[in-house]
Amino acid sequence: MINCLKTNIRLFQTKRRFPKAVIYPGVEISSSSSLEENVVVFNSTSIINSTILDNTYIQKNSVIINTKIGMYCSIASNVHVGNAEHPTHFVSTSPIFYDNNQPLPEFLVDRPLNEQKKQQTIIGNDVWIGHGVIIKSGINIGTGAIIGAGAVVVKDVEPYSIVVGVPAKHVKWRFSETIRNGLLSSKWWELPKSFLSTLQNEFEKPEIFLKKIDLVNNENKGRI
C-alpha cells in the first residue's frame, strides 16, 4: 500500500514537471532531463541527463542516458541509448575500483578515478529505432534514419539510412539522394502542424510533399 502510494506521488510529481508530455507509471526522469511538447514516455522507462524534443515517443523498459533526441522520433521498447562504458585498462572493470558515484553499497576508492568526458549521443529528427536496439554513447544518428530491431549501433548513422545487425551496418537508403537532401533542407519537422495537416494527402509521396513546401516558401518570399 505504501509503495503504491509512493509510486503514485512520484508519477504525479513527474507529470507536474512536464505538463505538456504524457508520462506513464514507473517512469524515472532525472532532474537534469527535459521533455518538450507531446512527448510520450511509456512504462518503466528511465531518462537520465537527456533532452527529448516535441512529438517523440519512447516505449516501455527503455533507458536513455546523456542523449538529445529530436522531433517526431519513434523509439520502441527495451531500447538502450548512451550506456556508460567500463574502462578496460584498470585492474578490474568493476566500478568498485574506479567510481564511487555509482549506486553500489561499497567502494575501494574515495573518488572517481576514471573521469572521462561524457559523450553525448545525438539522435536526429524522425528517427525510428526498433525493439531491443543498443546505441553506444557518443553516436550520432542522422535525421530520418531507421535502426532495425536488435541492432547494436557502434558508429554514426547517416541521415535516411537503414541499418541492421550486430554491429549495425547500412543496408539501404530510404529515398534517393535528391529526396534525402530535399527533406533535410526543408526541415519539415519545424513547420507548424496546422500547415503539415494540409499536406496529409502527400505524406506517402515525398517528392510532391517537397514541391508543395517549396511552393509555399516561394509564395512567402514573394510577399516580402
d(CA 24, CA 160): 30
Euclidean distance between CA atoms 131 and 46, whole angstroms: 16
Dihedral of CA atoms 189, 195, 196, 199 in degrees, nearest 10, equals -140
86 is known as an active-site residue: yes
Q: Please pick, among 86, 89, 131, 170, the residue that the annotation labels catalytic.
A: 86
Q: Could you give the residue numbers annotated as active site?
A: 86
